[in-house]
Chain A
Amino acid sequence: MSDVANNDIVNNADAPVLPAETEDRLSAMQREQGPILDVKDLKVDFITDDKREVHAVRDVSFNVYPGQWVAIVGESGSGKSTSAMAVLGLLPGTGHVVGGSIKLEGKEISHYSRKQYEQILGEKMGLVPQDPMSNLNPVWRISTQVKEALKANHMDISHEKRSKLAAAIAEAEGDINLKNVDDETFLGSKELPGLLEAAATALDKAGVRDGAAERAMARFKQEGVPGSETRWRVAEELIKAGVGDDEAWRIAKKYVIGSTMDDRIAGLLDEAGLPDAATRARQYPYEFSGGMLQRALIAIGLACRPDLLIADEPTSALDVTVQKKILDHLHTLTDELGTAVLFITHDLGLAAERAQHIVVMYKGQVVESGPSLEVLQHPQHPYTKRLVAAAPSLASQRIISAHERGENAEALMEHHAKGEDTLEKSEHIITVNHLTREFKLPRKKEMFKAVDDVSFSVKRGTTLAIVGESGSGKSTVANMVLKLLEPTSGTVTYEGEDISGFKGAKLLDFRRHVQPVFQNPYGSLDPMYSIYRSIEEPLRIHGIGDAKSRRKRVEELLDLVKMPRSVMQRYPNELSGGQRQRIAVARAMALDPDVIVCDEAVSALDVLVQDQVLRLLNDLQAERGLSYLFITHDLAVVRQIADEVVVMQKGRLVEHATTDEVFDHPQQQYTRDLLDAIPGGKLKLGLD
């Protein structure tokens, strides 16, 4: 058993202690019920503009059993999302299923019409889509969009009916056993105060006093969410707190008599982990953060209690700590509801951590599948081996386990982090002193401190990583170091000189020595410039060499980043994200700089490509003694590149230490949270 699983079970107070045989009982049940989703030899084609067929998915087979999490792992373009959309009957554009079968609960659905799909979507299969920003309609309130899901599947009608029935029964106050209709009789917001009062009285009567009573009441207040808390749960809670069975049921029947639609919507959003759900539900999507939108989408996906939830990279767009929180929540929720989950992800660590069974896809095909830990510990297909080797989260995990076994982990590291003594002796090439930057927010009086009193220094020939989530101010620091933005106060010094005074030739000289590589591989190269012109641009700006020597220099630089020379005549739109990033590195290297500032330079890339670019950066540093300021939101990557780490949160520096120190002995809670959030970080890996 892994720590994760253990912790969660211990933390979940409701979870019964499971005897060993339950697991077999579960398997037996799953075996008996058969897979809820069975995909065999699925083939999906797209038709291009010039009428050619592109095989996006070829002979893909996998299945999902009730209550199970199954993950499909692959890079962008591997066909993982296409397979999922084929199952949902929601293939985009010209995509269509050309072969194979998709069985939902034993029924073939691949040939279903749109009308037939309408019947099963929402009720039997739900979707939590990838990009929270674009998946909610900007013109409707969140509550309206949740309500649509309920209405589409007639949940409103049946629910209202049931509420009425339950109310009638409660009025009758008879001895009828209510349990079977109670499951969907939710607590209404109107009755909540009455219930709490009655609960307090009942506790008092039952002789529960002082601390115990306070704790119980606090728990009632927390659990008593209108639209989510059901009658039997209320009774259960009361009984647990010490109220007699009959009295508990009497109170539950009296006060839990069904909720309104608005209560139910708020309840669903609350279940998905949205704070202050009743108020929030009335807002519009643009008033939500990405994490909140994702929670709303989870509420929508689970609103009609589907048997199968398809989660298509549900957290890829979010910060790691938010990602972890949301996935933990989703996991608990689907477990409580008995929902099976088909989880699509590009992150092998995440897949192995969350799913029981994983399916690895590559170029439209399944290359390997099996129980997740087994696949991870003993990858057999060369592609899986590559993935396992490149995943940053797993890499740092391997280093830790090597340490634990007293082995020398050096061999595992791509980057040999320098020790504290080496760093101390090194000369400071860039020093940042009490750096502060304020921004004026539109229509707000007070200034917003994006960066608040940050100090650190980059030592020559080493890498300093700044780690933080969105809004931590890390990129603002990078822009000030690059003198693209002036600090409100504080200084940046380069080679001992304050850069704020740099002008004209002096500034040009500074620009020559400090170069950037930016995040967005699609934005950092001018689409109108050929690769040759892009790499040549810095040489031109600084008036270096003539046409012939510049050409030679560009060729050298392409060799340096391991790109073929023939690429010179091509344009950025023909290159992949990783290739563009390598061109951006070549451009940054053109002037032989001392310092390269990498602002999320590898964040948008697939793991294998990311690994490749990181290797390139490490090689360049080893060969040329470059210094890097490496900005990233991904602590896992830091291990592969950095000697020192600065952790930033909300504009402030929270922790500053060597990489090993940060990973082995994090001082701050926030750093520990970041470390915990590295997906797959807690997996025990066998070392192959």
Chain B
Amino acid sequence: MGKYLLRRILQMIPVVLGTTLLVYALVFALPGDPVKAMFGDKPINQAVAAQIRAEYNLDKPFIIQYLLFLKNALTLNFGNTFAGQPVIDEIARAFPVTIKLGLMAFVFEALFGVVFGIISGLKKGKWYDAVILIVSLLLISVPTFVTGFLMQYFIGVKWHLLPVTAGNDPGFLDLLMPAMVLGSVSMAYIIRLSRSEISSNISEDYVRTARAKGMTNRSVIVRHVLRNSMIPVITYLGQDLGALMGGAMISETIFNIHGIGFLTYQSILKGESNMVVSIVTLLTLIFVVCNLVVDMLYAVLDPRIRYA
């Protein structure tokens, strides 16, 4: 297990380096001048531009730029915004609410996804299986922002069940609807994944062997069908935890939540490249770390992985 962990961490290093390099290159090296973008439609003040270039090391060769960025990033020094605020402070301000939102969405999708997936997988062909399937298909087909608007309109505006927008310092109820919107697509995927895993595992030979032992249907299902079916589902969930943070943008925009997604969106509109690259780097790191955790979890759940 220790060896496996070490191997995975070693494999992670080139991925982290490559990903940050890629993100950095996309922002600062692509055609299209980020400094020019900062000025937006205003005329460019050459002196200010030069100052900015120097501040972000844009006057140095690309690879040096990247290495300096990396060095600064390691000390969480991501530079300043146009307004002179340290980028890291802005991020630190926005992060807690996104984490809250992400975790709520995660719990929502895990709970309902797995429960409905199991119901649907065990009772294939029943009417509620069909309903669950159709709803999950719809959730996947309808873009998140449409789902978001519809929920906002009906649940918030028309029926006044939940707050329409979240605003500053939102509480649990404020975040409930955004979290459901954020988790809805993944929930649908989890339903489909659990369902197909269960229906393929239930015809495995070892399930028949378990029945031949005289075990009750309940323990056969729990110990042999569900236990094995949940391995890929948990893998999916783990990867999704990292992706949820990045995907929060839509939900945060619709419900006016001042989290990381909102910040990213605003920074893009304002052309704050430095902020964008910092956030994307951070989110990518979170994603990679989540994947590592998933791999570890996977090895715990499936003894074969440890061996291979």
Contact = CB atoms under 8 A, between A and B. Distances in A.
Q: Do chains A and B touch in the complex (CB under 8 A)?
A: yes
B300 to A, nearest CB: 10
B217 A148 contact: no
Interface string A137-177: 11110000000110011000000000000000000000000
B211 interface: yes
B307 interface: yes
B42 interface: no
Interface stretch (A123-131, A214-222, A638-646): A123-131
A297 B302 CA distance: 21
Given A93-B203, A137-B224, A121 B303 contact: no
Interface stretch (A112-120, A513-521, A546-554): A112-120
B107 interface: no
Interface in B260-308: 301-304, 307
Given A121-B214, A122-B214, A138 B209 contact: no
B209 A300 contact: yes
Interface string B193-228: 000000000011110111111111101000110011
A148 B210 CA distance: 8
A304 B304 contact: no
Interface in A267-309: 284, 286-287, 297, 300-301, 303-304
A131 B212 contact: no
A121 B211 contact: yes
A587 B9 CA distance: 50
B209 A127 contact: yes
Contacts of A344: none
A138 B228 CA distance: 9
B219 A152 contact: yes
B200 to A, nearest CB: 13
A295 to B, nearest CB: 14
B213 A122 contact: yes
Interface string A254-271: 000000000000000000
B303 A286 contact: yes
Contacts of B211: 90, 117, 121
B307 A137 contact: no
Nearest to B227: A139
A422 interface: no
Interface string B102-141: 0000000000000000000000000000000000000000
Contacts of B223: 137, 140, 148
A286 B203 CA distance: 20
A588 interface: no
The range of chain B's interface size is: 20 to 34
A134 interface: yes
Contacts of B231: 139
A117 B217 CA distance: 10
A119 B303 CA distance: 32
B208 A90 contact: yes
A136 interface: yes
Interface string A98-120: 00000000000000001101111
B211 to A, nearest CB: 6
A127 B219 CA distance: 18
Interface string B223-264: 110011001000000000000000000000000000000000
A122 B216 CA distance: 11
A284 B303 contact: yes
A139 B303 contact: yes
B215 A134 contact: no
A92 interface: yes
Nearest to B216: A118
Given A93-B203, A284-B303, A118 B217 contact: yes
B224 to A, nearest CB: 5
Contacts of B301: 139
Contacts of A149: 213-215
B307 A120 contact: no
A90 B203 CA distance: 11
Given A139-B228, A152-B219, A129 B214 contact: no
Contacts of B307: 284, 286-287
Nearest to A300: B213
Contacts of A303: 213
A88 interface: yes
Contacts of A129: 205, 208-209, 212
A126 B303 contact: no
Contacts of A88: 212
A135 interface: yes
25 contacts: A88-B212, A90-B211, A118-B214, A118-B215, A119-B214, A121-B211, A121-B212, A122-B214, A125-B212, A127-B208, A131-B205, A134-B204, A138-B228, A139-B227, A139-B301, A148-B215, A148-B219, A149-B213, A152-B214, A152-B215, A152-B216, A153-B213, A286-B304, A286-B307, A287-B307
Interface of A: 88, 90, 92-93, 114-115, 117-123, 125-127, 129, 131, 134-140, 148-149, 152-153, 284, 286-287, 297, 300-301, 303-304
Nearest 6 A-B pairs (CB), nearest first?
A122-B214, A127-B212, A121-B214, A149-B213, A134-B205, A152-B215
